[in-house]
Amino acid sequence: MKPIASFFMFVLRLSLAIAVFFAGLLICFFGFDKTLLLSSVYSLIASVASFYGVKALLSNRMVKDTGLTRSEYKYIHTQLREGKAKINRLQKAMFSVRNVITIKQNYDVLRVAKKIQSIVEQEPKRFYQAEEFYYSHLDSMVELTEKYAFLTKQPAKTSEMKQSLNETRVTITSMVDTIEKDLFKLLNDDMETLHLELDYAKQSIERNKNRNPKIKS
């Protein structure tokens, strides 16, 4: 769930809990002639139960909608949280390198990485199509970029360091292509669906033309 949606649901649950508390307080105090203290305790219990009860219901509904088991959803949610932290590290390392040559490449890498993260956050089940990105490619990209950023900041560079810098830059370039392939793999099903829809649309147009020859292409 997106942060804005999560905040909205939290406010909704909190508002409901407050309403339950005051409603319970009035019912217990006036309806059942309980003391103010007991009425407050019972109302607080009902309020807390409603707050967490609604949370559990929404959570179960969310998991059900994804088509995943609860353990799968929890595991993927953890991977997404770690992935987001790694993308933040990647962005920090890239922006610390003040190299005009790498600006566009850095932008492209972050754009692709964030796109993969966004797609999987919206549809957690698609995590399995991006496992290599989260298990291997993202880690490698973060480590290489942080290493490159560290080496470029050194005031004096030996020939060995310069060679290491060059090799790291070449490897990063190849990793850019790898991450882009991760995105294409993730979008493969969408592309197939789009092609099917286009084929269907073309067939519908052709059928309409045959039924009514006056229809222009």
Half-sphere exposure of 173 (CA within 13 A, CB side): 8
Sign for the CA dihedral angle at 123, 128, 130, 136 comes to: positive
Q: 107 and 51: one domain?
A: no
Domain end among 20, 42, 66: 66
Angle at 87 between CA 81 and CA 90, to 5 degrees: 145
138 close to 180: Cβ distance less than 8 angstroms: no
Domains held by the chain: number = 2
Domain end among 66, 90, 106: 66
Query: In this predicted model, what pLDDT tens digit does every residue of 113-136 receive, in sequence order?
Result: 999 999 999 999 999 999 999 999
Residue 76 within a domain: no
Q: Which domain holds residue 26?
A: 3-66
Query: In this predicted model, what pLDDT tens digit does every residue of 71-99 receive, in sequence order?
Result: 999 999 999 999 999 999 999 998 887 66
Query: In this predicted model, what pLDDT tens digit does every residue of 57-78 receive, in sequence order?
Result: 887 787 777 788 889 999 999 9
Residue 169 within a domain: yes
Alpha helix positions (H), the chain: 3-26, 36-66, 70-95, 100-122, 131-132, 138-152, 159-211
DSSP conformation class of 155: S
In angstroms, the Cα distances linking 111 to 15, 92, 97, 183, 211 are 38, 14, 17, 11, 47
In this predicted structure, what is the pLDDT of residue 1?
Answer: 57
In this predicted structure, what is the pLDDT of residue 71?
Answer: 92
Question: Structure pTM?
Answer: 0.69
What percent of the chain is modeled with pLDDT above 90?
Answer: 41
Query: In this predicted model, what pLDDT tens digit does every residue of 129-166 receive, in sequence order?
Result: 999 999 999 999 999 999 888 888 888 778 888 888 88
Q: What is the dihedral of CA 17, 19, 20, 23, to 10 degrees?
A: 160
